[in-house]
A and B are shown apart, each in its own frame.
Chain A
Amino acid sequence: MILLRIAIASLLNRRYSAALTVAAIAVSVALLLGVEKVRTETRASFAATIAGTDLIVGARTGSIQLLLYAVFRIGEATNNISWQSYQQIAAHPQVAWTVPLSLGDSHRGYRVLGTTPDYFAHYRYGDQQALAFAEGKAFDDLYDAVLGAQVAEELGYTLDQEIVISHGIGAVSFAHHDEHPFRVAGILRRTGTPVDRTVHVTLEGIEAIHVGWESGARRPGAGLDPDTIRQRDLTPASVTAVLVGMQSRLATFSVQRQINEYRGEALLAILPGVALQQLWSLVSVAENALFAVSACVVLAGLLGMLAALLTTLNERRREMAILRSTGARPLQIFGLLVFESMLLTLLGILAGLVLLYGGLILAQELAAARFGLYLAVTAPSLWQWSLLGLVLGAGLLAGSLPAWLAYRHTVADGLTLRT
């Protein structure tokens, strides 16, 4: 008890250097836990991107690539699936539903996805959550568009506004389908998934705006006015990928095999969960590196504390001698110094938690808006508590070096300093 009081008084006496030490530990602890937080939330939000879909089908490619372009809207498909193949899959007796996806265009940097209204019925994310409309409703008309939450927010779009889709997927495109403006029919609620950054239009709408663009650019005079186009058969020749739901999950593997062995076309069917895990295992290398870096920052913080304690140690020999003369045992001097490091580390951890949660509250909105990452302000997990325990343990370990030196000094100095 007296040691604790002496330790606190002594630290208060050196409050500026102690505060700096605490700050260094706090920053490192906040970083460590922050990285952990982002890591686990990213992993959770990553795994929550798509749920309820049993198979994703695309042209034969790598499974991660298929997942990237079909779900994350990253990269491009190398090939499409013919409409006939799509219809055969849809007609399979074990298949409950299919949602065709057609990618390749963009709107001011956001990907445009051509699909059917079934998409809004069947797409699931997170814990089997369905897409919900913040405003408006699903497509009704050929030229209807449904915006992801982030698209609407960033671009300030409202219902019934007309938007023009650009050809290709660059952030700045010079080929616009401006003769076929789309009308915003609905805006989705935020999901924290790539859906937020997607402009959804009808499959036929994609087909309509490309009439006359078969060569990849507009043939002069080939475009038709929207009303004429409505008369045409706008069934697409191909789609980019298909989301598939099974009648029974038991059938998933056999249907997957059948699609992969399909003779008419080289197709690939993947299990979203498996592909997500494969993708995550790629990302986890960087994730582990990040963790290692933040662990090193904690080490640096503790080394700072060690340096601060060691530099004052010589000045404090007199203090130790006084304590000794009033009856303190060398072991108590050792305990005093260990107490000090424990206090510094504990204060650092507490300040780090304050810093972390303050930062989380401040960054929450930004992370959600910018990265679609929802950083929940929750109590530290068991794993994070054990990390904090490790930090405290490392602090005690770091503190036992100056404590041991002080112990040796005390034994050698006795009651007066031997210089």
Chain B
Amino acid sequence: MAEVARIENLRFAWPRQALLLDLPELVLGAGERVFLRGPSGSGKSTLLGLLGGVLDPDEGRIVVLGQDLAALGRAGRDRFRGSHVGFIFQQFNLLPYLSLLENVLLPCRFSPERAARAGASEAERRAEARRLLDSLGLDVDELAGRPANELSVGQQQRVAAARALIGKPEMVIADEPTSALDADTRDGFIELLLAESARAGAAVLFVSHDAALERHFDRALSLDVINRAAHRKAA
């Protein structure tokens, strides 16, 4: 199986703080759906920042799609992230002043590669955004006129998922996307997200503190287990 992301001997600490992450190895295969469990404060968001190329590791290598992020430089990593990684966060994913479709189309605005993969023309891209929203169970015609911040949290998260998936990125990183949702909505959301990711051929790295969600995924990891810095702290 081809690799989407590989982390080797990663060490990271925030300035003037104890070592937060010490990961000998973490590999994400193409199209693989991985659940990463960790309590809050365990360094989950930091790890995602490192994978997204927003943070620089103190030591070690992060390779995404065969590309060593350190070799790209800051602007290059921004471009790379925009083109190959979709993000979904816990909440407040949307820009309240943009329409639903515009929110979904944002990655296409910043990355020509994502735009090209979403559709050859603006009309095609908009159709693709509608299709994604529709597949994720949102009635675009009904919701289109409303400001993004008037949608329910569940609806907002689906819009965020559509945005993460538009233009078929190779990897989707979801950071506690369901923690603000109730149990029924949560399971429905995860199923839709995974189905659409499979359709887009994207690997999913799903991060949550909630072990009950593990069953939806191919593989589950515990950050506390794979992170040697956590062992030291526990000891």
**Contact (Cβ within 8 A) A328 B78:** yes
Residues of B within 8 A of A (CB): 45, 48-49, 52, 54-55, 74-75, 78-79, 81-83, 87, 89, 92-98, 102, 106-107, 109-111, 114, 163, 175
Min CB–CB distance A14 → chain B (angstroms):
8
Q: Contact between B79 and A323 (Cβ–Cβ < 8 Å)?
A: no
* Given known contacts A2-B110, A331-B75, A414-B55, A325 and B89 CB-to-CB distance under 8 angstroms: yes
B49 contacts which chain A residues (CB < 8 A)?
414-416
Contact flag A326-B79 (CB < 8 Å), given A6-B95, A6-B98, A9-B98? no
- Is A13 at the interface (CB under 8 A from chain B)? yes
B163 touches A326 (CB 8 A): yes
Q: Which of A12, A326, A414 contacts B106 (CB 8 A)?
A: A326
B81 cross-chain contacts in A, Cβ below 8 A:
325, 327
Give me the interface of A with B, judged by CB distance under 8 Å. Answer: 2, 6, 9-10, 12-13, 318-319, 322-332, 414-416
**Chain B residues with Cβ under 8 A from A325's Cβ?**
52, 81, 87, 89
Contact check, B107 vs A327: say whether CB atoms are below 8 A apart. Answer: yes
Complex partner residue of B110 from A10, A328, A414, CB under 8 angstroms: A328
Query: How many angstroms between the C-alpha atoms of A324 and B55 in the bound complex?
Result: 13
Nearest neighbor of A332 in chain B, beta-carbon distance = B110
For the complex, what is the distance from the CA of A327 to the CA of B112, rounded to whole Å? 11
Residues of A with C-beta under 8 A to B163: 326
User: Which of these, A2, A9, A330, A331, contacts B97 with CB under 8 Å?
Assistant: A9
20 contacts between A and B (CB under 8 A): A9-B95, A10-B97, A318-B92, A323-B95, A325-B81, A325-B89, A326-B82, A327-B78, A327-B81, A327-B82, A327-B110, A329-B78, A330-B78, A414-B52, A414-B54, A415-B48, A415-B49, A415-B54, A415-B89, A416-B175
Measured CB to CB, the nearest residue on chain A to B99 is A9
- Chief secondary structure at chain A's binding surface: helix
Q: A326-B107, A416-B45 are in contact. List 16 more A-B contacts (CB 8 A).
A: A6-B95, A6-B98, A9-B95, A10-B95, A323-B106, A326-B110, A327-B106, A327-B107, A329-B75, A329-B78, A329-B79, A330-B78, A414-B52, A414-B55, A415-B48, A416-B175
Docked CA distance A6–B96 (Å): 11
Instruction: Write the nearest CB–CB distance from B58 to chain A, whole angstroms.
Output: 15
Residues of A within 8 A of B98 (CB): 6, 9
Which residues of chain A come closer than 8 Å to B83, judged between CB atoms? Answer: 327
Residue of B nearest to A2 (CB): B109
A3 to B57, alpha carbons, bound, how many Å?
30
- Shortest beta-carbon contacts, A-B, top 9: A327-B82, A327-B110, A13-B97, A414-B54, A2-B109, A325-B87, A329-B78, A326-B106, A9-B97
Main secondary structure of the interface of B (DSSP, over half): helix
Distance of A318 from chain B, by nearest CB (Å): 5
> Which residues on the A side are within 8 Å of B94 (C-beta)?
322
Q: In the complex the two chains form, is A13's CB within 8 Å of B110's CB?
A: no
Using Cβ atoms and an 8 Å threshold, which residues of chain A touch B175? 416
Partner of B54, one of A6, A12, A324: A324
Chain B residue with minimal CB distance to A324? B54
Q: Which A residues are in CB contact (< 8 Å) with B79?
A: 327, 329
Q: What residues of chain A lie closer than 8 Å to B109, measured between beta carbons?
A: 2, 326-327
Contact (Cβ within 8 A) A326 B87: yes
Min CB gap B107→A, angstroms: 5
Cβ-closest chain A residue relative to B167: A327
With A10-B97, A415-B48: A327-B92 Cβ-Cβ less than 8 Å: no
Min Cβ gap A11→B in Å is 9
Give the residues in chain A near B78, CB-CB below 8 Å. Answer: 324, 327-330
Q: How far is the CB of A159 from chain B (nearest CB, A)?
A: 68
Q: Which residues of A contact B55 (CB under 8 A)?
A: 414
Q: Considering the chains assembled together, what is the distance between the CA atoms of A4 and B107 in angstroms?
A: 16
CA of A293 to CA of B92, assembled, Å = 45
Inter-chain CA distance A416–B52, complex, in Å, is 11
Q: What is the minimal beta-carbon distance from A60 to any residue of chain B, in angstroms?
A: 75
Q: Which residues of B contact A326 (CB under 8 A)?
A: 82, 87, 106-107, 109-110, 163
Name the A residues within 8 Å of B102 (CB-CB): 9
Chain B residues whose C-beta falls within 8 Å of the C-beta of A328 in the assembled complex: 78, 82, 110
Cβ of B165 to closest chain A Cβ, rounded Å: 12
Known: A319-B95, A415-B52. A327 touches B89 (CB 8 A): no
Closest partner residue, chain B, to A329 (CB atom):
B78
| Residues B93 and A322 in contact, CB atoms below 8 Å apart | yes
A84 CB to closest chain B CB, in angstroms?
Answer: 86
Distance of A329 Cα from B54 Cα, bound (Å) = 10
Chain A residues, CB < 8 A from B87 = 325-326, 415
Distance from A49 Cβ to chain B, minimum over Cβ atoms (Å) = 57
Contacts of A416 in B (CB 8 A): 45, 48-49, 89, 175
In the complex, chain A residues whose CB is within 8 Å of the CB of B52: 325, 414-415
CA distance A2 to B175 in the complex (A): 26
Residue of B nearest to A413 (CB): B54
CB pair A327–B114 under 8 Å, yes or no, is yes
